[in-house]
Structures are given as C-alpha cells and as structure tokens.
Amino acid sequence: MFELIDANVAKHISLTPSELDLFHSMLHLKKLKKKQFLLQGGEVCHFSGFITKGCIKNYILDDKGHEFIMYFAVEDWWVGDISSFFEQKPGTLFIETIEDTELLMLDYHNSEKLFKEIPKFERHFRILIQRSMSTLQQRFFQTLAKPAEERYLEFLKKYPNVAQRVPQQLIASYIGVTPEFLSKVRHKLVKKV
Amino acid sequence: MFELIDANVAKHISLTPSELDLFHSMLHLKKLKKKQFLLQGGEVCHFSGFITKGCIKNYILDDKGHEFIMYFAVEDWWVGDISSFFEQKPGTLFIETIEDTELLMLDYHNSEKLFKEIPKFERHFRILIQRSMSTLQQRFFQTLAKPAEERYLEFLKKYPNVAQRVPQQLIASYIGVTPEFLSKVRHKLVKKV
DNA sequence: GTAAAAAATTAATCTAGATTAAGAAAATCA
DNA sequence: TGATTTTCTTAATCTAGATTAATTTTTTAC
C-alpha cells in the first residue's frame, strides 16, 4: 500500500523507519469511482492526495461553464489545490476522477504536524512545488508562443501514457483549444504522414 | 540595507539575532544600471536576488526573438530562474533591469548552507514559491479564458505601481498581446468612459 | 444485444487578435 | 537645444482558432 508513496518521498529525502511509520499513520486510503469529485471550486482544500491508482483531472470553470484543465494526474502524482490547502481558504479548482481512483490522503492538520515533526518534509514539498512551477511556466510560455499543433505533439511526447487514458476533448482543454479544432489538427497531422 | 529583506523574511519565519547575522553574511549587494542582464537564457542561474531598489523584467524569448514576460519584479520581490537555480542546470529565462536596480544576492552555495543551518528558510521559500505558483495558475487560466481587455484592467488593478513604471509594450507582452493591439484596447477603453 | 449517452468528426461562418507598415509623440542624450 | 532613439498610435489586411450545427462513431449501461 505504501510502496509507491515511500519511493516518491525517497526521491528527495531519506527517512528513518520510525519517521516512516509516523508518516504512514497520517495517511488514509480513499477510493473513488469514476466521475466523482475530490474537490469543487468554492471549497477549502483540506487534503493533499497521492494517487496510487487511477487518473484525475484538475480544472477551473469560467463564467460560461467551460472547463480549463490545469493538469492531469495519474499514479505517483500528488493532487490538491495548493493555494487553498496552504492558506486554508476557499479555492477555485475542481478535482474530479476520470477513472476509478485510489489515493492516500494527507489532511491539513496532519501535514502541519508532519512539517513540525519531520522538517525534512518541508524540503520534499518545496521541491515538488518548484517542479510544478517550472513546468507550468514552460507550459504558459508555449501556450502563448506556439501553435496548437505543436502543443498537441508536445503533450503526446511528454505524457504518452496520459494521452492514451483520457478522452480527446480533455486533451483539447489541456492544450487550450476546442475539441473541434483539435480534431482538425489531428486530421491535418494524419494527412502529413 | 537589510531592513526590507528582514521584513520580507519575518512574514513567514522568525529568526534569532545570530541567525539573522548569519543570513546577512551570506548576502552581497549588486548594483546594476538600466538595461543590464542579471541572467540570460542558456546560463545556469547561480543566485536568488532580492530587489531593494529598481525594477526588472523576467522573460523568455521564442524562436523569432519575441519577448514573453513571465513577471515584473520591484522592491521587496525575489527574482531568479527557480528551476535553473535549484537544479543548477541551464535555464531559459532572461532577467533584465528596466530601471537602475539594487539587489541583495544569495548565491546557490550559500542558499544550500542556509537551508542546512537554518531549516526554517526551507519553509519561507516553500511559501514564496507556493504563492508564485497559485498566481501563475490564475494568470494562465485568465489568459486562456478572458479577453485582452479584461486582462489589461486586471493588471492595472493588481499592479498599479508597476503599471506606472514600465513601458506599455512590456505590459502588452505580460498580458499576452502585441503592443498594437493593447493600444487599440486602450483607445476603446478611453471612449467607453 | 440494443438503446442511450458520450465522444469525435466535418464543414460553414465568424472574430479576436496578429502582422505589416507608416507616422506621431515622447524620452534620452550629447 | 536639437538630433536620435524609443515608445505609442492608427489603419489595412490577414489568420488561427472559436462558434454553431449536424452527422458519425464509440462507449456505457441495462
């Protein structure tokens, strides 16, 4: 149950057996069916979730109800609304399962305790957030600077496994175009080859 | 010299006088004239800089040499290429002064030492990065979901002081349009009132 | 196995914003 | 101070991608 998350943490910090036990004791398993919400806009995010099985989408809705996907997450990813979680204020993100999903949940209270008792975790999460930050920066730049076709190919290259698990309309949302336009782009790509 | 940076750090962690001395000893002052580079794409970022005076732009160039501004920074802001800094690998960001600027520089070596000797700093920077992350997330969403006019007004509201210090073409780049189009937007806004 | 729902495609029309080019205004500098 | 550089504006033309709407294909669920 904890193999994946232990390996995840071990990438940046090393823990003693007793620290590991303490960490495990703070987690609880959550199982969700497909199309269920982990979090909805307007709510306070009380958890950081580590996916051990399944796939979710993390998105924002605009006034007209259009989804804008911030990211997909599969096994070995942490999910949550970072700013809502750390400030414990209502956020704007929706988190919804795309497949039946299992997560190890770390709630806010426990995360504060964790940082206090094992400050090394501060480092682990700093590094994770840092990575997300530079990924988002690159993506933001590409969305402004590169045409949809290039962004689509980039997505396939970067997340080949995700690309096979989520419907195309969600990929369209992720790269920032309508499903109709992505369809056109794909058509053009097929002809090219 | 250290008032501003001490207040900045005190927002999230409290330091003893000796910790503060250690911190100060790791910083050095850097003065730059207008239009000078702190960092160029392709270089490794060896510093985190805290601005005590002046203004910089942080941007990426595309293939055609167009600037895409990631953010402006003025007094009381930290600047750097986060991913290049923490991974000590070549990055893509350019950092260039827009005004004569003074910064307190913390180099990579010292920052590692700082985290080791005063782990509380790990927390301070985690919180800063977290904030940048959620700001960037909001901005990314708005750039996809909202029209240029709204983004421009949002910028003026959020950074009124910056708006008065930087030329309009840079604001155009920040909100993700050409200077010509921003000019048009502004013209339309004037007529509206 | 079939009906219903969800996803993907195609095509016509439309538009926000880009591009190109030129001139006007403002800031800088010797 | 005037000359030069930088910034801003205006206008004509163009295009990537949106919108709308209809049709087909695939998936889901009973």
Domain tally, chain A: 1
CB B38 within 8 A of CB B16: no
Q: How far apart are CA A85 and CA A46, in angstroms?
A: 6
Tens digits of residue pLDDT in A135-193: 999 999 999 999 999 999 999 999 999 999 999 999 999 999 999 999 999 999 887 65
Q: Which residues contact B118 (CB under 8 A, 6 or more apart)?
A: B15, B19, B22, B23
Tens digits of residue pLDDT in A102-129: 999 999 999 999 998 998 898 898 889 9
For residue A111, is it within any domain? yes
Find residue B57's DSSP bridge partners.
Answer: B72, B96
Q: At what angle do helices A120-145 and A148-158 cross, to 10 degrees?
A: 150
Average pLDDT estimate for B134-139? 92
Q: How far apart are CA A11 and CA A138, in angstroms?
A: 23
- Of A110-114, A119-123, B5-9, B23-27, the poorest mean pLDDT is in A119-123
The reply to whether B179 Cβ lies less than 7 angstroms from strand C is no
For residue A108, is it within any domain? yes
Residues in chain A: 193
End-to-end CA, chain B: 44
The answer to whether the Cα torsion of B142, A93, A140, B44 is positive or negative is positive
For residue B152, is it within any domain? no
Q: Which residues contact A127 (CB under 8 A, 6 or more apart)?
A: A12, B86
Average pLDDT estimate for B126-136? 90
For residue B185, is it within any domain? no
The reply to whether A168 Cβ lies less than 7 angstroms from strand C is yes
Find residue B29's DSSP bridge partners.
Answer: B104
For residue B175, is it within any domain? no
Q: How far apart are CA B142 and CA B150, in angstroms?
A: 9
Tens digits of residue pLDDT in B75-117: 999 999 998 998 899 999 999 999 999 999 999 999 999 998 9
Flag if A83 and B131 touch (Cβ within 8 Å): yes
For residue A59, is it within any domain? yes
* Residue range(s) defining the domain that contains residue A24: 3-119
**High-pLDDT (> 90) share of chain A, %:** 82
Q: How far apart are CA B6 and CA B23, in angstroms?
A: 9
For residue A12, is it within any domain? yes
For residue B184, is it within any domain? no
* CATH number reported for the structural domain that contains residue A70 in this entry: 2.60.120.10
Model confidence at B132: pLDDT above 70: yes
Model confidence at B191: pLDDT above 80: no
Residue of A nearest to B141 (CA): A68
- Structure confidence at residue B192 as a pLDDT band (50, 70, 90): low
3-class secondary-structure state, position B170: helix
Q: How far apart are CA B173 and CA B168, in angstroms?
A: 9
Q: How far A54 CA sits from the closest chain B CA (Å)?
A: 24
Other CB atoms within a 10 A radius of the CB of residue A119 amount to 14
- Which positions on chain D have an atom < 7 Å from some protein CB? 6-12, 16-21
Q: How far A41 CA sits from the closest chain B CA (Å)?
A: 13
Give me the residue label for tokens 């910790």: B19
